[in-house]
Chain A
Amino acid sequence: MENIYNECIRMVQCMVNQSDSLAERSEQARTNPLADQLKEVPVIDMDVHTSFRHEEIQRDMLAHLDDPYRQEVEYYLEPGHSSYDGLYPTDNYNRDLNGKLPTELMQVTDSKEDIDDVLSSEFHVDYPIVNMLPELNMVRQTDKAVAFNRAANNVLVERFLDGHDNFRGLASVVPHDPSAAAEEVDRIAQEDQICGVFINSSGVKTPLGDPKYDPIYRAAEDNGLPVVYHGAAAPGLGLDFPIIQHEMQTYMANHALGHVYSQFLNLTSLFENGTPAKFPDVDFVFQEAGIAWLSLIFRLNREYKQRRSEVPLLEKTPEEYVRDQFYFATQPLDEPNDQRMMKQLIEMWGGDVLMFATDHPHFDIDNTEALLKFMGDFSEEERNKVLYKNSAEVFDIDVST
C-alpha cells in the first residue's frame, strides 16, 4: 500500500518534472483557473490500462480459463518463474530507459487505489474507461488467444468494473478468428459497463478494414458499440514493420513510429475497404498516436478524389467520414516547439473528433491540465466536447449522475 502511494508520488513528479510534493502540486493546481473549471466538468478518460501481466490479475484469470490454459497459467505462477515469456508473446524491447523511466509508472490492479484515487485527484478524471491491454495478437494458437481474451474480459468486468459505477470498460477482441470475435462482442456487450470493442492495432497481420473482419464490425453495430483501435509499440509491430524492429536501434525510434504506423495502416485499410460506409452506425476511435498524424486524412482525401473507382463503397471524402464517425484520443499530446502550433492542431479537429485520454499508467501519460493549456481561448462547448461530451456520446455514458 505504501509502495503504491510512493509510486503515485513519483508519477506526479515525472509529470511536472520537479520535486515538489503532492500537496504543493495540488496547491499549484488550485491556482490554475482552468483546473478550477475541471472541478465542475465530468471529465472522461477514455484510455486507462490495467497491468494485465501482474500476478494478481493472472491469478484472477485462472477462474475464467479451462484446461489446458488454466494449467498453463498456474505453471507460470509457480515460484521460480520470473516472467511470463513462455506464456505471452513479447517484443524484447527495453522500454525502461536504463531504469530511469519504467514502462508503467505504477502497477494497476485495483480500481479504487490505482485508478480512481490517482486519476480523480491529480487528473480531474470522473469517468475512467478501462481496457485490459492483454496484447494477445501474436499468440499463435487461435483457441488460446480466444480463450485468454475472453478470460481477460471477464476479469475486466469482475475486478475493475463491478462496484465502480463511474467506471466503464472496453472489451478486447483478438483478430485470429473474426467470427469468434463477433461472438465475444455479442457476449460481453450484455455487461452494462462495457462501452466499446478494443483491438490492439499492431500484430493484426491483415489490416483491420479487411472484409474478413466485417463480422466484428457488424456485431459492434448490432450492439451499439464503438470500435477502439489502440496504437501500440507492442508484440507484432515487428511483423507489421520489420525494419523498425530489426534495423532501427532505439526504443525512441520504435515508439515514435510504431503507434502512428499501425494507426496509418489500419485507418487507411478502413477507407480502402469502405468499412465506415458498410457500417454507418459504428464509431471508429483511435488511441495513443496523438493527433498530428491526422494529416493522413487530407492525403486520403486526395487519393480518394483521384482513385474513387477503386473504393466505390465510399460515398463521400474520407474527411467527411472522419468528422461524422471517427474519434481520436488526444494522448500523447504532440509537442511542436511553438506551442501555438499545438493549439492550431487541436483547432483543426477540435470538438468534432477529439477525446481526452491519459494513458494511465504508462510513461507517456498526459495530464488534463496539459491539454487544457492549449484550449484556453476555445469556447466552453468546444472544450467540453473534448473533455467529456464526445466520449459521453460515443461510449453512451450518462454524466448527469
Chain B
Amino acid sequence: MSTNTHDLALDDDEHVVAKTDELAEGERLIALLDGKEIGVFNIGGELYAYPNWCAHQGGPLCEGMLSGTVEGEFDRDSLETELEWNREGEILSCPWHGWEFDATSGDCLVDDGCRLRSIPVRDESGHVVVTL
C-alpha cells in the first residue's frame, strides 16, 4: 500500500487497492477486501469494479479474458449476414462457462435477468479507491 495513502481521508468502507499508475489501461487487479474478492479494471481510462463472482455458477469471473465479441447484422434483401469483431477490451468472459459481460456497464450479454453489481471505484490523488 502506498505510503501516501494516510494523506487521504478515507472512510472505513473505502479501500486503496493500487496507485493509479500501477493500473494501466487494459489492466486489471483482484483485491481481497474484507474477505471479498473484487476485480478492478481500467478500461479506456475509466475505472470499474465488480465482485469476482459469476452469477451463473460462482466462477471467478473477473479473472476471465477481457476482449471483444462477435456481433452480426443480417440483410434481408441480400440474405447476407455480416459478422464484426466489436468492443475490443470491453467484454469480460467468465473462465468457467464463458458467459459474456459488458465490463463497462455490468450488463450480461446472454441473460437479461443477470447483471454484475457495480462497486464504486474512483481515482483519488493517484490512488484507486474502492468503496465496499
Q: Which residues of A come within 8 Å of B, CB atoms?
A: 211, 214-215, 218, 274, 277-278, 304-310, 312-313, 316-317
Contact = CB atoms under 8 A, between A and B. Distances in A.
A316 B74 contact: no
Given A312-B71, A312-B72, A211 B100 contact: no
Contacts of B9: none
B100 A308 contact: yes
Contacts, number: 44
A215 B76 CA distance: 10
Main secondary structure of the interface of B (DSSP, over half): loop
A46 B76 CA distance: 29
B79 A211 contact: yes
B82 to A, nearest CB: 10
B111 interface: yes
Given A211-B79, A215-B79, A313-B81, A308 B74 contact: no
B58 to A, nearest CB: 15
B74 A278 contact: yes
Interface centre among A211, A274, A305 (most CB of B within 10 A): A305
Contact of A277 (B74, B83, B98): B74
A317 B97 CA distance: 16
Given A316-B112, A317-B110, A317-B111, A309 B100 contact: yes
Interface string B41-66: 00000000000000010000000000
A384 B98 CA distance: 41
Contacts of A312: 69-72, 83
Contacts of A211: 79, 81
A218 B79 contact: yes
A309 B74 CA distance: 15
A235 B92 CA distance: 47
Given A274-B74, A304-B110, A316-B112, A309 B79 contact: no
